[in-house]
Structure 1
Amino acid sequence: MSFIAMNRFRILPGKEETFETIWKSRESRLKELKGFREFRLLKGPEGEGHTLYSSHVVWDSREDFEAWTKSEQFRDAHKNAGNSGTKDVMAGPPQFEGFETVLHES
């Protein structure tokens, strides 16, 4: 049906705007890939010492997502990970979660 790839980010207090700017100014090449449907960056609640964010990417299938992780576009998007300023705004590494859709209503 579809596959949703999510990364959770714990962002240090006062660094939320910097984190959002990094995402807004990045060069996304997701639209170049087969099976890409939609990307969202979600801002969640404040926790102890952080604000929770999640990147949320919808793919047609797990196979399309896995093809993305092996693509030139993926390597380009992640080549400066840790150097792009995100390391100084995050309270630890991102946490990946992948989900297969079992029910969808619209």
Structure 2
Amino acid sequence: MFIAMNRFKVKNGAERDFEQVWLTRETHLEDVPGFIEFHLLKGPERDDHVLYASHSLWRSQAAFEAWTRSEAFRKAHASAGGNKPLYLGHPEFEGFTVLQEVTAKGVSVV
């Protein structure tokens, strides 16, 4: 499995607008091959921003990379440029290969 994360430093006072953008947008993820799940996370508040992260789980890094070249990706990100005033800097991407998964049923090694 592969986890793709983006960190967003959202300017103080812009949290509601940022959340509305994300919670009302069409993700176009549901039918993408290899997609498993998505989470939008709200983190700690700092002096000048609140940290948010998007977290998506994929069957493989190849599946994630294929999505980034797809029409579904272009549709999901079509209006992303208009949201720059909400952020401090650019979103920071982090990708992780899953080595271990712990579930309520036990432990499995991927």
Identity %: 50
Deviations 1:69-99 (CA, angstroms, capped at 9, x unpaired): 010000111222212xx21111111000000
Report the count of equivalent residues.
Answer: 103
Gaps of 5+ in 2: 104-110
Report whether the alignment pairs 1:103 with 2:100.
yes
Deviations 1:30-80 (CA, angstroms, capped at 9, x unpaired): 011011111000000012310000000000100110110010000111222
- The TM-score, its normalising length taken from structure 1, stands at 0.93
Correspondences of 1:1-106 after superposition (within 5 Å): 2-83=1-82, 86-106=83-103
The 3-state SS of whatever aligns with 1:76 is: helix
Q: Which has the higher contact order (CA 8 A, sep 6+)?
A: 1
Which structure shows the bigger proportion of residues in strand conformation?
2
- 1-side partners of 2:80 and 2:20: how far apart? 15
Q: More displaced, 24-33 or 52-61?
A: 24-33
Q: Alignment RMSD, CA only?
A: 0.8
Which structure has the greater CA radius of gyration? 2
- The TM-score, its normalising length taken from structure 2, stands at 0.90
| Shift in Å, 1:16 | 0.6
